A = this chain, B = another copy of it.
């Protein structure tokens, strides 16, 4: 019998795949590639548009609970930070120290549950001043993940240089790409060690979340 793998993806609009006319986003493409590689899984996409790190950190345990009631091999993916770097009413929605702290807290929470975690760094927002902040934040989040012993996939620089991503975002709402951009992001996650991470999940039976 196949291992019963289940992965929960928490994050923002990029996790939700907003703007992808194929409705797959990067999460769907990574899941399909996992099936193709002989690693079928149940995926729960829990990305919410406009959410900051603080909002993801506040809800992830509550939304994980009903999705983790079976005896299965669970994993959790976090990807957030872009919305933290938005300026609203003259101030940052969330400053970088608070974002890093939020990541540390969710990774500590996952570790306490012996729940394997993986972090996908923030994608470019499409606005130069903001993207300077996103790039710095991505580096900071990478350090947090490393300190927690959790794999981190840095996607910022590659996506900012990606022709499909930038053209689709510009043709769309300015931030969200279409199918080509999400395919590029999925490719980075796959190249960043996705399949070994998924394959290596320890067997978890009925985690008490």
A residues neighboring B (CB under 8 Å): 6, 13, 16, 18-19, 21-24, 27-29, 31-32, 35-36, 40, 42-45, 48-51, 55, 59, 62-63, 66-67, 69-70
B residues less than 8 Å from A69 (CB atoms): 50
Q: Which of B18, B21, B23 contacts A29 (CB 8 A)?
A: B23
Q: Which residues of B contact A18 (CB under 8 A)?
A: 42
Main secondary structure of the interface of A (DSSP, over half): mixed
Q: Is B23's CB under 8 angstroms from A35's CB?
A: yes
Cβ contact within 8 Å between B66 and A51 = yes
State the CA gap A50–B206 with chains docked (Å).
Answer: 14
Q: Which residues of B contact A55 (CB under 8 A)?
A: 66
Most B CB atoms within 10 A — which of A22, A45, A66? A66
CB distance A70 to B44 under 8 Å?
Answer: no
The answer, among B27, B40, B59, for a CB contact under 8 Å with A21, is B40
CB distance from A65 to the nearest CB of B (A): 9
In whole angstroms, how far apart are the Cα atoms of A36 and B44 in the complex? 24
Residue of B nearest to A68 (CB): B48
Contact indicator A32/B42 (Cβ below 8 Å): no
If A19-B40, A45-B45, A50-B70 are given as contacts, then 10 extra A-B residue pairs at C-beta distance below 8 Å, sorted by A number, are A6-B49, A13-B42, A21-B35, A23-B27, A23-B28, A24-B24, A24-B28, A44-B45, A44-B48, A62-B62
Given the interface pairs A50-B70, A59-B66, the reply to whether A32 lies near B23 with Cβ below 8 Å is: yes
Chain B nearest CB from A99 CB (Å) reads 18
Tell me, in angstroms, the Cα distance from A31 to B17 when the chains sit together.
Answer: 11
- Residue of chain B at shortest CB distance from A59: B66
List chain B residues, Cβ under 8 A from A16. Answer: 42-44
13 contacts between A and B (CB under 8 A): A16-B44, A21-B35, A23-B27, A23-B28, A23-B32, A23-B43, A24-B24, A44-B45, A44-B48, A49-B67, A51-B66, A55-B66, A59-B66
